[in-house]
């Protein structure tokens, strides 16, 4: 089965850079993936598109060296099965607030006896290889999003779930839950929570990813030792560079 490069980077303790595809266009997803990212996440939670659009985006990412990931819209076995069958090599699942939520998520991502995933990998075999079934449970990446006060408090129980590879921190929602603005990434209350989550995960040998809305935040999160850094969405990157060029020419 095709190697999951993110697992290799984690084993070598090297940070991964993750692109974020929310526009819902295969060409944009391909551009992101071809820009040097180690992985690209197709976002079905906040991206304004459905599974039908996610499939060609995954196909486009697969023409590059970037690992194709997805963020599902919810903790649903049916949707997660479809996305894995479509060739996703890892799933970020939003709103994991308890051990029970994490168990449900892990079971959706794994074949029996560990999980309840139904067999029908379709494009997963095309991307992963003919021995997909034998190695899928050990190759695909499972990341539970911690983005609520409840999830923060239950983090150790969530991280203790067998075969959950790690967590993905949603800093904006977590900030809101802590009574802060969604962009208060440098507030000590939030940075302490992020540092605690990172330490808890690494103590258990688990992976940590985070979304960053600015380069300043991304630089700080890298310094904290977080394993996967997402330096903004395709929309944010497009807007930032467009604004920079317009302002430079007007100035």
Q: Do residues 93 and 75 make contact, with C-beta atoms less than 8 angstroms apart?
A: yes
pTM over 0.95: yes
111-132 pLDDT, tens digit per residue, is: 999 999 999 999 999 999 999 9
User: What is the set of active-site residues?
Assistant: 46
pLDDT of residue 130: 97
Domains of the chain, CATH where assigned: 5-250 (3.20.20.60)
CA distance 183 to 163: 32
User: 230 pairs with which residues across the strands?
Assistant: 211
26-81 pLDDT per residue, tens: 999 999 999 999 999 999 999 999 999 999 999 999 999 999 999 999 999 999 99
Sign, CA dihedral 226-232-234-238, equals: negative
> Exposed (0-12), middle (13-18) or buried (19+): which is 163, by Cβ within 10 Å?
middle
Which neighbouring-strand residues pair with 91? Answer: 70, 142
CA angle in degrees (0–180, nearest 5) for 156-41-170: 40
Instruction: Give tens-digit pLDDT for 179-196.
Output: 999 999 999 999 999 999
Q: How far apart are alpha carbons 110 and 103 in whole angstroms? A: 11
Per-residue pLDDT tens digits for 152-162: 999 999 999 99
Contact 62, 121 (CB under 8 A): no
Which of the 8 DSSP states describes residue 117? P
Beta strands in the chain (DSSP E): 16-21, 39-43, 67-71, 90-93, 141-146, 166-169, 207-211, 228-230
Alpha-carbon distances of 169 from 128, 146, 154, 190, 200, rounded to whole Å: 27, 5, 13, 11, 13
User: Taking the mean position of all CA atoms in its chain, how far away is CA 232?
Assistant: 12
Tokens of 101: 């939520």
Place of tokens 């060296």: 65
């Amino acid at each position: 089965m095709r190697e999951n490069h993110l697992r290799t980077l984690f084993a070598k303790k090297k940070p991964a850079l993750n692109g974020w595809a929310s526009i819902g266009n295969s060409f944009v997803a391909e551009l992101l993936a071809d820009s040097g990212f180690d992985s690209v996440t197709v976002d079905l939670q906040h991206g304004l598109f459905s599974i039908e659009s996610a499939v060609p985006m995954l196909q486009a990412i697969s023409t590059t060296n970037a690992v194709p990931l997805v963020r599902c819209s919810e903790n649903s076995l049916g949707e997660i099965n479809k996305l894995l069958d479509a060739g996703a090599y890892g799933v970020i699942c939003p709103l994991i607030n308890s051990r029970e939520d994490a168990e449900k998520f892990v079971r959706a991502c794994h074949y029996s006896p560990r999980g309840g995933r139904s067999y029908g990998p379709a494009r997963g075999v095309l991307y992963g290889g003919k021995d997909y079934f034998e190695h899928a449970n050990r190759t695909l990446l499972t990341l539970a999003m911690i983005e609520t006060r409840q999830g923060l408090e239950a983090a150790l129980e969530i991280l203790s779930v067998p075969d959950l590879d790690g967590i993905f921190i949603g800093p904006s929602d977590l900030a809101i839950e802590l009574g802060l603005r969604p962009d208060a990434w440098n507030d000590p209350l939030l940075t302490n929570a992020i540092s605690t989550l990172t330490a808890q995960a690494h103590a258990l040998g688990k992976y940590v990813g985070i979304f960053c809305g600015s380069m300043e935040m991304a630089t700080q999160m890298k310094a904290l030792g977080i394993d996967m850094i997402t330096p903004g969405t395709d929309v944010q990157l497009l807007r930032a560079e467009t604004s920079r060029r317009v302002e430079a020419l007007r100035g």
